Structure formats: structure tokens, C-alpha cells
Amino acid sequence: MKLFCRGDVDGFCAIALDNMVQLLLIPPMLVGVLGFRPELVYGHVLPGVAISYLVGNVFYAWQAHRLARKENRTDVCAIPFGLNTPTMIAYIYLVMAPAKQIAIAHGAADPDLVAWRVGLVACVGSGMIEFFGAFVAGRIRAITPRAALLASLSGAGVAFLTMNFLFSTFAHPIVGLVTLGLVLLFYFGELKPRGGVPPALVVLAVGAALAWATGLAPVGRLTLGDIGWRLPVPAVADVLGGFAGGQILPYLSVILPMGLLNLLASLQCIESAAAAGDSYSPRSSLMVNGACTFAAACFGSPFPTSLYIGHPAWKRMGARAGYSTANGIFVTFVCLTGAMSPIAWAVPADCGLAIIIWIGFIITIQAFETAPQRHWPAVIMGMVPVILAWTTFSMTSAARIAGAGSASGPAFGSKLLSSFHAAGISIEGGFAIGQGTFCSALILSTITVLVIDRRLAMAAIWSLAASVLSLLGFLHSWRFVPSDAVGSMPLVDWLVGAPRTSASLFPASPYAIAYACLAAVLLLAKVFTVHDGSQPHK
């Protein structure tokens, strides 16, 4: 297989655009939201991101070449790789922001440094979960139906890629709809630009031209002060400083479930690649992902890496391994030189969002293409919790902006709940499904598959597992805190000194009871049901 082929150009444009959208979030959130010093962001965080990107992308490109040689094929596509966006947002708002507030309250000399170090430790924790989880991920994959593994990814494709970016598409219709039309022509209509020009380049070029013509570009002011080489600096001492004094304990309720979510999502991405014809070793793929996250922290980035959804889309573009190598080099250059600032100024993210929307379509389609038709209800069952979680987040954000609550924490929560109840909406159901979304989607989808196949005893076991996870706070455990509606692991909160009442210790106990009752129904189903087909209950 060639080091770089024509399809890699399309793949590189798509993955680089996706990465740039995420990278462009880092400076405004760390500097604008958390108030970090720019030199901390550009001198430590972004160089750490560069290390993780370069190592990971080069490895997954090499992995694709190795699989191509092993199977004597030239159509192997590397697994896409980059920052884990959900974890990045969670660590900014649920780890580093409260850590800085606590540091200020205790009179710390450098609250920015304290918050950054706590973020580094959170990143290390996520990397350890991903690395050591690789040794049991194969077993998880063996006992979990493919429909269940892909279903929640399909929900993410619909909600977080397609629906999320359609807001921008219709907010700026001249750029959004024209580029969407080009994507439909090139990727669904299977038409190609004349002269062999890569379709993704056409989409980006037309989008950029329209953005400048309509005033969408340039974005802000072009500043040259952030441009300049900044080489990665080891931050091991800062990681150790973050562990000192048990500062990380209050944030385990975020780190543990997010780490498990990353592991599960990466496993689903490996399953997605296998469904597209490229079967990679789950253990080595997950171990390297965890190692890249660990390396990111050791060089100053508090943001874990992740295998990306969308492998089938990149493979359908014709991308092979070269796009992954090019992506690692490109992101490294951008992070180490400060080139991100002029790129964002000249090319708004809206120019290529249609490509990301198309990737969301492909992810959704794949779950139905690879699952037996009888399992399609299970695919839908797994999609719905993810879509509901995204919808709930959007609804509560809109209510907060509209002034449904003027306070934070419990005061905000009481007013928010009463406002939704007055409109006939049981919003707390959305809060519950929003905590442990991917895990609950996987479990519900698996139970549905097992019921369809009439493996009721195994379905009951999965339901009992959901009951235990709910009791421990991994599923459906939510409460209002100063940053508004967030999830928690109450047992960990209890260990670090939270109130020890039964209500605060086990807020998800109704769900634990419900799943246990569901398990009983499944086990007793043979007593009160008969099968109307030819095969007996299993």
C-alpha cells in the first residue's frame, strides 16, 4: 500500500478540518473561560497536544500498513484519531474550573497553575483507564452484540455531528447549504470534480470563498503575537504536583466515568472499522490510545485523545494510511508554531461543516447496514438515549439563557424543574439518561438484542449489571451543583466527605430498583409467556 494516495487528500482535509474545529476551542475556553495565561496555553497545553497527535497518528498509519501487508490488500484505512471532545469539555468545566475556584478560595499563589495541574492528573487517570482497559476490552467486545456497539455511535452521529452542525448550516445558509449540496453531489451522488481535484478541497475552497463574499470571514482580528516556535516541555513535575495533597479526589466522579466512556467509545470505533472490513487488534489500538493520552499529560496537555468515529466514511473517501500521517504532521505544526490563529481568521469552520454532517450520516447508516434486520429495533434503542441527552443539554442551556433560573446549584435546579414541569416536560428523565449516556445506550441496546434472540437469562444479567452501575452512580446519577446539572458518583463523594444521607449517597437508587425488577421480569418471562414461532425460548 502506498504511503500516500489521492484519496488521502480527501481524508486529510476532512480529518484536519475536524481537528481544527476542536483545536480552535482550546484557547478561547482556557484563556477566555478559565482565565489562564496565554503563555500557559501556547507554551504548554498546545505543545502537549502536538505530542499526542503525532505519536498516535503515526502509529495508526503504521498499523494500517501492517494490516495491508498481512492481508495482501491495498484498501486498508487507518483508524482516525484526535482529541476527545466530550472529555475536553468535561475536564474544562467540571475539573479545572472548580479546581481554580477552590484554589482562589484557599488563597493559592497561582490558581491557574493549580487548576492546570489538576487537569493533567485527570488526563493521566483517563489514560490509565484506557491503557489497562485494553486487556479486558476484547472480552467486552466478544459478549456485546455488534448492533449494540454501533448503536450509540449512530446516536452520536445523528445528534452531535448532524444535528449539532445543522444549526450552523442554516444560520449561514449561503455557505452552509451550498457546501452541503456539493457534499451530496460528491459523496452520495458519487460524482467527482473534473480534473481529478479532491472533492474535499473543492468544498473547502468554495466555502471559504463564499464566507469571504458574505462577510462570515475573516473571523475577528488577525494577531501575530501568538505565532512562533514553542517546543514541548516535559511536565512530569507538574503532574506529580497535581497528585500531591489529594487534590484530585473530588474529581474522581468525573474522571472515572469519562475514562470508561472513552474506553467504550474507542472499542466501538474499532468495531466500526471491523464492520467496514479493517479488523485491528483491540488491545494494541487501545493501549496506544491510552499511552498517547498519558504522553499528552506528561507534556502539558490536560486533554485525552481518542479513536474517532467515522472510519467507514474515511474509507469510502478513498483514504488509506497517508491521511493519518499527514494529519499528525499538520496538527503538530499548527500547535508548535501558533499557525492556528491565522488559519481560524481566514477559514471559518462553517466552510467544511457539511463534510462532518456527511460523516454523521455514514456512521448512522453503518449500524443498520451491518446489523441483521431483526436487530434494527436494538439499533434505534441505542440511538435514542444519546439523542435525548443532546436534546436535554440543548433545552437546559436554552432555559438558562432565557432566564429560567437566575441562581446556580439547587436554587437554579428548583426553578428549572418547575418551569419544565409547568410545560408538561419531565426534564429530570433527560438528566438521568444524560449521566452515563453511552453505557446506558449500550446496555439497553444489548438487552433488546438478547430479547429479540430470546436469550432472556443473559438479558436479565445485563439488566442486573445496569442495576449495580446505577447504585454505584455510573448510570442515571444526577444532582444540581454550583455548575448546574451534572452527574456524580455518590460513593466517591461519600469517601471524600460529602453528606452521608441515603438520598445523597444513592440518588440513582430508583433506577437500580427498576433494573432489578426488569431482570426479574425477564427471568420469569417463561412462566407467563408462550412463543408463537417455531423456535423455543433460549
Q: Domain map of the chain by residue range?
A: 1-371, 373-538
Tens-binned pLDDT, residue by residue, of the chain (538 aa): 899 998 999 899 888 877 887 787 788 789 877 899 988 998 999 999 999 999 999 999 999 999 999 999 999 999 999 987 767 877 887 789 888 888 887 788 899 999 999 999 999 999 999 999 998 877 777 788 878 878 887 888 888 778 878 988 999 999 999 999 999 999 889 898 988 787 888 888 899 999 999 999 887 777 666 678 888 999 999 998 888 766 666 677 567 767 776 787 788 889 889 999 999 999 999 999 999 999 999 999 999 999 987 899 899 989 999 999 999 999 999 999 988 778 778 888 788 888 888 878 888 888 898 889 999 999 999 999 989 988 987 887 777 667 654 445 555 667 778 888 888 988 889 888 887 787 888 899 999 999 999 999 999 999 999 999 888 877 888 766 544 444 444 433 433 333 334 445 567 889 999 999 999 999 999 899 987 765 544 4
- DSSP H helices, 302-352, are 311-317, 322-337, 340-346
* Residues 154/480/83/118 CA torsion (nearest 10 deg): -160
**What is the grid cell recorded at 448?**
433488546
* Whether the Cβ atoms of residue 9 and residue 317 lie closer than 8 Å to each other: no
Backbone angles phi, psi at 402, to 5 degrees: -75, -10
- Give pLDDT, residue 502: 43
**What is the grid cell recorded at 43?**
507554551
* Whether the Cβ atoms of residue 310 and residue 156 lie closer than 8 Å to each other: no
Q: Angle 275-276-277 (CA atoms, 0-180°, nearest 5)?
A: 90
Rounded to 10 deg, the angle between the 252-275 and 111-143 helix axes is: 40
DSSP 536: P
- Give pLDDT, residue 220: 72
Beta strands in 194-248 (DSSP E): none
DSSP 159: I
- Give pLDDT, residue 12: 92
SS3 302: coil
Which residue's C-alpha cell is 497527535? Answer: 53
Global pTM reads 0.74
For the chain, the distance separating the N- and C-terminal CA atoms, rounded to the nearest angstrom, is 46
* Whether the Cβ atoms of residue 47 and residue 300 lie closer than 8 Å to each other: yes
CB contact set of 115 (below 8 Å; sequence gap of 6+): 34, 36, 96, 97, 99, 100, 103
* Residues 465/467/469/474 CA torsion (nearest 10 deg): 140
Pairing of strands 81-83, 478-481: unpaired
Beta strands in 379-428 (DSSP E): none
Report the candidate in 78, 5, 2 with the shortest Cα–Cα distance to residue 273.
78
Which residue's C-alpha cell is 440511538? Answer: 383
* Whether the Cβ atoms of residue 307 and residue 146 lie closer than 8 Å to each other: no
Task: Give dist(CA 463, CA 451) in Å, integer.
Answer: 12
* Whether the Cβ atoms of residue 320 and residue 12 lie closer than 8 Å to each other: no
Task: Give dist(CA 373, CA 145) in Å, integer.
Answer: 13
Number of neighbouring beta carbons within 10 Å of residue 48:
25
**What is the grid cell recorded at 280?**
485491528
Task: Please provide the size of the chain in residues.
Answer: 538
Task: Give dist(CA 219, CA 198) in Å, integer.
Answer: 26
Of all residues in the chain, what percent are helix, strand and coil, respectively (each to 5)? 75, 5, 25
User: Measured on CA atoms in the order 266, 268, 273, 278, is the torsion positive or negative?
Assistant: positive
Task: Give dist(CA 319, CA 316) in Å, integer.
Answer: 7
**Residue 525 burial by Cβ neighbours in a 10 Å radius (0-12, 13-18, 19+):** middle
- Give pLDDT, residue 501: 42
Backbone angles phi, psi at 484, to 5 degrees: 75, -150
SS3 306: strand
Number of neighbouring beta carbons within 10 Å of residue 56:
26
Number of neighbouring beta carbons within 10 Å of residue 47:
22
SS3 402: helix
Task: Give dist(CA 445, CA 439) in Å, integer.
Answer: 10
Task: Give dist(CA 300, CA 112) in Å, integer.
Answer: 13
Does the N-terminal peptide bond of residue 342 adopt cis geometry, omega within 30 degrees of 0?
A: no
Task: Give dist(CA 367, CA 162) in Å, integer.
Answer: 16
